[in-house]
């Protein structure tokens, strides 16, 4: 079967760097998505990785290792507005997304 | 502003009653989805539609039905609500199966 694991909650300081990990088990691999979800709001797309390596997009970067079934989201120069849940998702064999439970990131001043 | 519109925003429903959650998109996306989100759990797929006229069952389809008469609309119906269907429901769409999802703002449903 398929499974996605993420830490439930993380705390970081404004201005710092935080890495949010995601491990997955899938029967095949069709890429990995990261979404951001502020409390009470809808998820919004952050990144999509299908090849190994790091993809940088401003303050946010996403890394993928297919051989290890592992991804992380790296957030730099943290701002208070980055307080949110970060969701990892992978498509199954029918391209329907399987979602992790999300990591709640708390930013402290 | 283009996007996905869900209605209602929130609803309190008595157990045993029926209800239809509405979802409309104006991006001409082929695929549409209904998810429920519960505390401590990931988003779970209820039903999906890869194109107008077709629908499929997701991970948790029991107690729900959908239709896709046209590209824009994808309503979700609860025929006889039960308290375990208390949740936040998100409608989403995508241009293709490999494209990111665009989400509506959600419907918060409480079944009493």
pLDDT in tens, A77-108: 999 999 999 999 999 888 889 999 999 999 99
Beta strands in A16-99 (DSSP E): 18-25, 32-37, 44-49, 53-57, 60-65, 70-75, 84-91, 97-99
Supply A85's token pair. Answer: 């849940």
Say yes or no to pLDDT of A1 above 70. no
- What is the percent of chain B where pLDDT is above 70? 98
Supply B25's token pair. Answer: 């998109």
Chain B, nearest residue to A94 by Cα: B97
Neighbours of A96 (CB within 10 A): 17
Work out the pLDDT band at B80, boundaries 50, 70, 90.
very high
Best CA proximity match to B8, nearest among B80, B101, B109? B109
Say yes or no to pLDDT of B30 above 70. yes
What pLDDT score does A2 carry? 74
From the list B40, B45, B100, the residue facing A45 with the nearest CB is: B100
User: Are residues B101 and A100, on separate chains, in Cβ contact within 8 Å?
Assistant: no
> Cα-flanking dihedrals φ and ψ of residue A81, to 5°?
-70, -10
Residues of A within an 8 Å Cβ radius of B = 4, 30-31, 33, 35, 41-45, 48, 87, 89, 91, 95-102
Q: Which residue has the tokens 């539609």?
A: B49
């Amino acid at each position: 079967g398929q499974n996605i694991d993420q830490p439930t909650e993380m705390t970081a300081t404004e201005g710092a760097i935080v890495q949010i990990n995601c491990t997955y088990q899938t029967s095949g691999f069709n890429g990995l998505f990261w979404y951001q979800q502020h409390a009470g709001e809808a998820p919004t797309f952050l990144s999509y990785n299908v090849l190994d390596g790091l993809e940088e997009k401003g303050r946010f970067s996403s890394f993928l290792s297919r051989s290890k079934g592992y991804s992380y989201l790296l957030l730099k120069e943290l701002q208070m507005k980055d307080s949110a849940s970060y969701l990892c998702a992978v498509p199954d064999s029918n391209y329907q997304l399987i979602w992790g439970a999300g990591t709640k990131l708390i930013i402290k001043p | 502003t283009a996007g996905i519109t869900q209605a209602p925003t929130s609803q309190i429903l008595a157990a045993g009653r029926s209800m239809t959650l509405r979802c409309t998109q104006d991006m001409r996306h082929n695929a549409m989805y209904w998810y429920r989100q519960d505390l401590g759990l990931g988003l779970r797929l209820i039903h999906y539609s890869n194109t107008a006229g077709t629908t499929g069952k997701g991970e948790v389809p029991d107690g729900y039905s959908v239709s896709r008469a046209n590209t824009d609309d994808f309503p979700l119906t609860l025929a006889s609500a039960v308290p375990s269907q208390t949740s936040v429901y998100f409608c989403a769409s995508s241009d293709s199966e490999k494209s990111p999802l665009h989400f509506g703002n959600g419907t918060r449903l409480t079944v009493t």
